[in-house]
Amino acid sequence: MSSEFSIPTPDDWHLHLRDGELLNTTVAATAAVFERAVIMPNLVPPVVTVEQALAYRERILAVLPKSMSFTPLMMLFLSPQTTVDEVKAVADNPHMLGFKMYPSGATTNSDSGVSRVEAMYPLFEAMQEHDVPLLVHGEVTDGEIDIFDREAVFIERHLRPISEAFPRLRLVLEHITTAQAADFVEQAHARVAATITPQHLLMNRNDLLVGGIRPHNYCLPILKRREHQLRLQQAALSGNPKFFLGTDSAPHARDKKEAPCGCAGCYSAPAALPLYAEFFASHDALDKLADFASHFGADFYGIARNSSHITLQKNAWQVPASITTAVGPITPYWANEALSWQVQGGKQG
């Protein structure tokens, strides 16, 4: 195995930057490595109009270091108030990518999300007509459904019917966690894809619960059994272009994670690409990293691949224990743990 290799600059197809003073930390952490990122709209209040998304985009670009190039791809939060006209507005704006559907109460800042999926069908029809992608947090939120089964139930109850009813809709099941999700994506039509996070490739629920509760490994959808982890690993290693990188990096101040009701989310951005490299290298598959990180997502969305490159070097380092931010210290994902690969020198043209 070579001690150094380059890949085309990757893109992060699922990212939380938050807002306000925290942008000073989160934007640079991603822009140092990724050329583009899909920016999640679950702010408080959520981003529900193109006007709001463009204002958010300007706030992101305002804190981008002058030495870095970075393109935020903006999303709208799908809500019961979303209109067909707003779908058309997204289609007409080059800075917009699509809509994110959160079931109401499924994750952080999603209470105003969708409670009746079938009521959204006229909007899905408009998205299909205007080729506006729909990105989905795929979990039901019924109290009687076990939290470890919520993704599988959502697929059968909602996602499979959506994919069958709208075969031309560009549909992404975000941060997949189960064998059922990987199977569904593989078997669905060509316009269905999925993102996979580093935590779901590198961990399973033992890493959350064995030896005490580990709040900084807590995310939603929650880590699943090892058998599901192995199925996701198989999907990422398969070379199937339906599976690509999406970190779901989600920063929360330490006191919000280490709390009686701790926030869900892993802040992986400071080590995202080395984390994926660690996974692929551990399976003797570094030759597959470029497709997964740099090619398949752009191809799925019909966006040109990046022409710049980034270099990783085999050089052991330790992820910091803490990151100082305007909202207080944040414990990054993989804190205090070693990684074998390190980004060298930033993006190269």
* pLDDT at res. 253: 97
Positions marked active-site: 248
Q: Which residues are annotated as a binding site for substrate?
A: 16-18, 42, 137, 220, 252, 264
Q: Rounded to an integer, what distance in angstroms lies between the CA atom of residue 77 and that of residue 96? A: 12
Confidence band of 109 (pLDDT split at 50, 70, 90): low
Torsion of CA 128, 87, 90, 245, to 10 degrees: -50
Instruction: Report, as an integer, the average pLDDT of 2-27.
Output: 96
Q: Which residues are annotated as a binding site?
A: 14, 16-18, 42, 100, 137, 175, 220, 248, 252, 264
Report pLDDT digits (tens) over 211-223: 999 999 999 999 9
Query: Is the pTM here over 0.95, yes or no?
Result: yes
CATH class of 14-270: alpha beta
Q: Where are the domains of the chain?
A: 14-270
Q: Which residues are annotated as a binding site for Zn(2+)?
A: 14, 16, 100, 137, 175, 248
* pLDDT at res. 292: 98
